[in-house]
Amino acid sequence: MRFLALNHESFIVELRTLGETLLLLQALRATPLPGVEDVIPAARTLTIRFSSQIAKAEELAGDIARMNLMATTLTDGKLVEVPVVYDGEDLPEVAALTGLSTHEVICRHRDAEYFVAFCGFAPGFGYLVGGDPALHVPRRRTPRARIPAGAVALAGDFTGVYPRVSPGGWQLIGTTPLKMWDLARTPPAYFQPGYRVRFYDATTKNRIYTAKDREFSKQTAPRVDKNAVQFSVVVAPVPALFQDLGRFGVAGQGVSASGVLDRSSFKSANRIVGNDEAEPCLEFTGSISFRSSGAAIIGVAGAPRGIDLRNAAGQILHAAAYEPIALENGDEVTLSDTEAGVYSYLAVRGGFNIERVLGSASRDTLSEIGPEPVGAGSVLAVRDATKIRAPVLLHEISNFVFPRSGETVTLDLTLGPRTDWFTPEALKVLANTVWEVKQQSNRVGLRLDAPESLARSRHEELPSEVVVTGALQVPADGKPLLFLADHPLTGGYPVIGVVADYHLDLAGQIPVGAKIRFRPSAPFREIKPTRRASMR
């Protein structure tokens, strides 16, 4: 095993094979280690997320290294069936690559039993192993820009089903009418790690799939009091999003945490109005105007912008961020565009009455999970604030100066987990280059560019592994991508380093046109397993 740091509260355990990975996953689930909050499997790695207040990475690595995988056996999981119409565009190519006829390809795929090793790429996308080795084929040389939902596909030693329309490079052999991801089902992902899977030919087998084959959990929207205060959005050229601290505990279904980009500003907005720090807020980037149907107290934090309040009498009043703002019935609030930073946060005393999806109110823009974006015409219900006892705060301030386009921001970087995939010259380029934030940047990540690029010393394909917020992933062109909150759960390009946790809020506020300089905090090193102090 190798132990590679991701950040101060997560690391990767690298193993030799997928089989070893699954055995270690089962061992860790059978014997949970103190301080471990989540264990997320991938092709040949496990990502360990832990509490640094309870455990140290080196001690956890020691506990894991001493586990006897030879004494662990994989248990049989639930068997699920998937109907397939074998009409994939790539069936002839798969047949040519394997030397089989298309009929033989179909029979070998249909007659095998599969095992869901892990989920990633997109919510509900399961990586299935255990099929016929004769069907191991490479990805397409040129990925498709659009693959339909329900496409059954092959890549390497995996088979899988695309849960939604997306780009992809797997070889398509058929389609299924089943929904791989359905929020009306519990759990939403049809494939769960550990499940056994069998495919059958839907055109020949006398089997009708019905809703009874699913386990449903009715999703109910929160009740709205007819007398509750409401905010009616008048203007919102760029849709705003509800966000909270994230969606944790569902990585096994291929869902990343998402959540707010600037946690310090988000928490400030809530403290201003006396809410719990984790109460969902409205995160917005452009100007926005809304009208209140009753009395409320709001707070605005984050990227600085003008705040104008027009009352029922038509008077225009100016308000300040980082201070509580009292609204009366008919007041209209206008928040202008910002010239520094990117994201601002609107909190209301008592909180917004919104639906949680998988335990969170965050809108994940990549997976399209969470409350719908807020635009002109949206009506936002406000919860009763009379039971809130915490005081409003008058002296909140921002944690940093918000960067402007053209300015250079320095971010501390922990090297790894795949720093050794790059040349020594690439590490010098990484530390000495000023990278510009490009127009294509969003909540998924910041696309960076410079005349230089980061050259790799290893060019083989990296098996998919978990990535975290702040990961600096390097695609084949050598131009890094800094992942933000809505990043995919797994990735197949090497991560050269991860931005320090204390700089993530600042990273989320860097606008297009600004520049970034990375400052490696220490040389790359593997985590060395040690024994816990109590065991010495």
Same domain assignment for residues 348 and 416: no
CATH for 128: 2.40.100.10
Of 84, 93, 149, which is closest to residue 111 (Cα–Cα)? 84
- Spatial strand order of the sheet with 45-50 comes to 2-7, 10-14, 45-50, 36-41
Same domain assignment for residues 36 and 143: no
Of 446, 46, 474, which is closest to residue 251 (Cα–Cα)? 46
- What is the domain count for the chain? 4
Q: Which residues pair with 133 in a beta bridge?
A: none
Q: Which two tokens stand for residue 389?
A: 């006892």
Query: Scanning the structure block, which residue is given the tokens 């917005």?
Result: 284
Amino acid at 28: L
Same domain assignment for residues 153 and 44: no
Three-state SS string over 19-64 comes to HHHHHHHHHHHHCCCCCEEEEEECCCEEEEEECCCCCCHHHHHHHH
Indicate the residue among 208, 238, 269 that finishes a domain.
208
Indicate the residue among 381, 416, 437 that finishes a domain.
381
| Residue 395: inside a domain | no
Same domain assignment for residues 359 and 240: yes
Same domain assignment for residues 295 and 437: no
Q: Which two tokens stand for residue 72?
A: 């662990």
Same domain assignment for residues 67 and 89: no
* Dist. CA 462–CA 309, nearest whole Å: 54
| Residue partners of 317: CB distance under 8 A and separation at least 6 | 308, 309, 310, 311
Same domain assignment for residues 181 and 255: no
**b (16+ CB within 10 A) / e for 229-250:** bbbebeebeebbbbbbbbbbeb
* Dist. CA 378–CA 240, nearest whole Å: 10
Strands (E), 120-201: 126-129, 144-147, 151-155, 158-161, 166-168, 171-175, 196-201
CATH for 16: 3.30.1360.40
Q: Which domain holds residue 52?
A: 2-71
Q: Which two tokens stand for residue 306?
A: 């003008």
Q: Which two tokens stand for residue 317?
A: 């009043």
Same domain assignment for residues 191 and 50: no
| Residue 335: inside a domain | yes
Please measure the distance between the N-terminal and C-terminal CA atoms of the chain and give it in whole angstroms: 22
Give the count of beta carbons closer than 10 Å to the beta carbon of residue 43: 22
| Residue partners of 18: CB distance under 8 A and separation at least 6 | 43, 44, 117, 129, 157
| Residue 305: inside a domain | yes
Q: Which two tokens stand for residue 519?
A: 């400052």
pLDDT in tens, 54-107: 999 999 999 999 998 887 777 778 999 999 999 999 999 999 999 999 999 999
Classify residue 261 by its DSSP letter. Answer: S
Same domain assignment for residues 449 and 354: no
Which of helix, strand or coil describes residue 503?
Answer: helix
Ranges of the chain whose pLDDT falls below 50: 208-220, 536
Same domain assignment for residues 66 and 99: no
Question: How high is the pLDDT of residue 534?
Answer: 60
| Residue 222: inside a domain | no
The answer to whether 393 and 274 have CB atoms below 8 angstroms apart is: yes
Task: Give the Cα-Cα-Cα angle 296, 298, 300 (nearest 5 degrees).
Answer: 170
Same domain assignment for residues 372 and 239: yes
Question: How high is the pLDDT of residue 211?
Answer: 39
Same domain assignment for residues 283 and 147: no
Question: How high is the pLDDT of residue 252?
Answer: 84
| Residue 397: inside a domain | no
45-50/36-41 β-pairing: antiparallel
Classify residue 239 by its DSSP letter. Answer: -
| Residue 125: inside a domain | yes
Task: Give the Cα-Cα-Cα angle 173, 176, 177 (nearest 5 degrees).
Answer: 155
